[in-house]
Amino acid sequence: MITVVRAGPLTTIQDQGRPGYAHLGVPRSGALDQRALRRANALVGNPAAAAVLETTLLGCALRFEQPARIAVTGAAADIKVDNLVTAGVLEVGAGSVVDVGRATRGVRSYVAVGGGIEVEPVLGSRSTDTLSGLGPPKLANGMMLPIGTAQSNLTTGEVGDIADQIDLGVWLGPRDDWFSGRALFETEYQVSPLSNRVGCRLTGTPLTRLTEGELPSEGVVLGAIQVPADGQPLIFLADHPTTGGYPVIGVVDDVTPLAQARPGSTVRFRELR
């Protein structure tokens, strides 16, 4: 078992999510930075689908009630074991406290434990969905987390990149004809502090509507760029709703870079054909 000593502002349990249920109104959820998830699991010998902890900005602290192998990937942060700064794949003893500190680059760190976090799955996934409430609750101080049986298939996994300037490929549609010109591709946007696991809000030159009125609710997908009444794009992330009433001007082909985008980071779009 693991005891949560310091939960942090938003630490959740995440895996590869629960795709395939959008027709039932269930979003995919899962780790925002899937590359960091896979790397963390590879470093401790877990299968790629094992559940890990996803921290947000200020990290978390955990006490291990039994010896364990852990790895931390994603956002850069100081890692301490029993108040001693360390790095790499860690072998911790029973009673040790691991503290994942404030992110110094990026936003989200991923803490994998050999054997994975073995909470009860919901619809085939152990992911916390912050919008619908499916899956386990977010971590709280004093919470106990079960871990599974460790394996020994250790690999390094893929290394992700954290950038302050993000370039995103976009497939236009289905409602790009509701907007004038090519401002989406000519504007340099900044990530808003109001972003979360549901969506990445951007600020910049507002997009100009050609079509007045609103739509009936339509299905939306991961990466959909919805444009609310203020004209500022909102990119849907893992915990997005499955329907929305604002027009979708396009869909981002890979939202992974946004998982580590801090407020103020620059975002530019390029059209895919």
Taking only the tens place, the pLDDT of each residue in 176-235 is 999 988 999 999 999 999 999 999 999 999 999 998 888 899 999 999 999 999 999 999
Domain boundary among 114, 145, 176: 145
Residue 115 identity: G
pLDDT at 73: 96
Same domain assignment for residues 9 and 127: yes
Same domain assignment for residues 243 and 198: yes
Same domain assignment for residues 10 and 123: yes
- Tell me which of 89 and 272 has the higher pLDDT: 272
The total domain count for the chain is 2
Task: Report if pTM > 0.85.
Answer: yes
Segment 96-116 shows an average pLDDT of 97
Segment 77-82 shows an average pLDDT of 95
Could you say which DSSP state residue 139 is in?
A: P
- Structural domain harbouring 73: 2-145
In a domain, 259, yes or no: yes
pLDDT at 154: 62
Structure tokens at 129: 């969905």
The end-to-end CA distance of the chain, in Å, is 50
How far apart are alpha carbons 106 and 121 in whole angstroms? 28
126-167 tens-digit pLDDT = 999 999 999 999 999 999 999 998 877 666 666 667 888 999
pLDDT at 181: 85
pLDDT at 86: 84
pLDDT at 188: 96
pLDDT at 161: 73
How far apart are alpha carbons 242 and 135 in whole angstroms? 17
Same domain assignment for residues 137 and 175: no
Omega of the bond leading into 174 within 30 degrees of 0 (cis): yes
pLDDT at 164: 84
Residues 6+ apart with CB under 8 A from 64: 2, 92, 93, 94, 95, 96, 97, 98
Same domain assignment for residues 202 and 92: no
**What percentage of the chain reaches a pLDDT higher than 90?**
86
How far apart are alpha carbons 50 and 116 in whole angstroms? 5
Please give the mean pLDDT across all residues of the chain: 94
In a domain, 151, yes or no: no
